[in-house]
């Protein structure tokens, strides 16, 4: 058997060094203060790096976040260090986000990436465009409609509903699954769908199961909630030539051992029953 290649171990020191390499300049103060934010912005400017919000958001996201906390917006930081925000926004004609420019930028990003959701714009350094779209059109959806883009595809509610529909489709697969397959899928759904259950069903999985006609036992993540689940897994082990003795199950699959005791009482009765399967 080929030896499995393990991933390299990354120390905390290496992680910190990697994070420092992404910065425009290394930090020289341990804590963020209003004075340090202004000093750092001026130092970045003196080193010849662009100071528009998109570039800073990509390379120095913590600087943007701290600037918002202390000054409210990035333009105020630029004014405090003696720069005119309109002159810094060189990627935008005359430093102004006109409706024509906003629509053209939204179309360009949609053509290049296919994703103009609010979170995608912010993560890709277009937070200013996102903010100015709100200011110009009153809502982000209205800005997308003005640009000729189907806003329903990218609004949060639609994407949430699409995600929920996919989650529900996976959940209904549990009805026809038994044994380990059902248990593994149930654990995945319990992990991936917690936010749906919290927001739609007040964190009540029983309510979710009842409204969607899914037996609640199918969502049990502990092991084998029904006799049929246990039989399915026992037959699988038998067909694959795996042992079904008590000591083996206790060591390899304790939930199955618990199911055997619950449904058959002891292994002697189980062995007699398995002759008929």
pLDDT tens-place string over residues 99-158: 888 899 899 988 888 888 877 887 776 777 888 888 888 888 888 889 998 877 776 666
Q: Give how far the C-alpha of residue 33 lies from the chain's centroid of Cα atoms, to the nearest Å.
A: 31
For residue 22, name the pLDDT band (cuts at 50, 70, 90).
low
The pLDDT score that the predictor gives to residue 23 is 79
What local confidence, expressed as pLDDT, does residue 16 receive?
42
pTM of this prediction exceeds 0.85: no
pLDDT at 10 over 60: no
Q: Which residues of 132-156 are buried (b: 16+ CB within 10 A; e: fewer)?
A: bbeebbeebbebbebbebebeebbe
Residue 5: which region, alpha, beta or left (left: phi > 0; alpha: psi -120 to 50)?
beta
Q: In this predicted model, what pLDDT tens digit does every residue of 160-193 receive, in sequence order?
A: 777 888 889 989 988 888 888 888 888 888 888 8
| pLDDT, mean of residues 54-61 | 80
Q: What is the mean pLDDT of residues 47-61?
A: 81
Joined together, the tokens standing for residue 45 give 């400017």
Q: What is the C-alpha separation between 228 and 238, in angstroms, rounded?
A: 15
Alpha carbon distance 31, 62 (integer Å)? 11
pLDDT for position 78: 92
Written as six digits, the tokens of 116 are 């103009």
The per-residue pLDDT for 36 is 92
13-17, 92-96, 210-214: which range is least confident on average? 13-17
Q: Within 10 A of 126 (CB to CB), how many other CB atoms are there? A: 21
Please report the pLDDT score of residue 264 as a whole number: 92
CB 209 within 8 A of CB 218: yes
Q: What is the pLDDT of residue 7?
A: 46
Whole-number Å distance between alpha carbons of 33 and 35: 5
Give residue 261's pLDDT.
92
Which one has a higher pLDDT value, 93 or 179?
179
Average pLDDT over residues 31-41: 91
Residue 6 confidence (pLDDT): 46
- Mean pLDDT score of the chain: 81
């Amino acid at each position: 058997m080929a030896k499995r290649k393990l991933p390299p171990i990354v120390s905390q020191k290496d992680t910190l060094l990697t994070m420092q390499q992404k910065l425009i300049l290394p930090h020289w103060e341990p804590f963020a203060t209003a004075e340090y934010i202004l000093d750092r912005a001026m130092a970045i400017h003196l080193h010849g790096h662009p100071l528009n919000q998109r570039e800073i958001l990509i390379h120095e996201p913590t600087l943007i976040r701290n600037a918002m906390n202390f000054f409210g917006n990035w333009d105020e930081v630029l004014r405090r260090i003696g720069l005119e925000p309109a002159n810094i926004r060189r990627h935008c004609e005359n430093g102004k986000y006109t409706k024509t420019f906003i629509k053209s930028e939204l179309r360009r990003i949609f053509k290049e990436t296919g994703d103009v959701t609010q979170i995608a714009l912010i993560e890709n350094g277009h937070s200013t465009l996102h903010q100015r779209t709100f200011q110009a059109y009153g809502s982000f959806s209205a800005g997308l409609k003005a640009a000729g883009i189907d806003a329903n595809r990218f609004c949060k509610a639609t994407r949430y509903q699409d995600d929920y529909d996919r989650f529900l489709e996976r959940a209904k697969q549990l009805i026809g699954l038994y044994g380990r397959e059902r248990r593994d899928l149930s654990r995945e759904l319990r992990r991936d769908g917690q936010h749906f259950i919290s927001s739609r069903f007040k964190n009540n999985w029983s309510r979710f199961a009842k409204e969607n006609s899914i037996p609640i036992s199918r969502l049990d993540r502990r092991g084998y909630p029904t006799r049929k689940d246990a039989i399915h897994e026992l037959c699988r082990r038998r067909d694959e030539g795996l042992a079904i003795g008590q000591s083996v199950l206790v060591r390899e699959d304790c939930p199955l051992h618990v199911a055997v005791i619950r449904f058959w009482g002891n292994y002697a009765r189980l062995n007699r029953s398995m002759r008929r399967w």
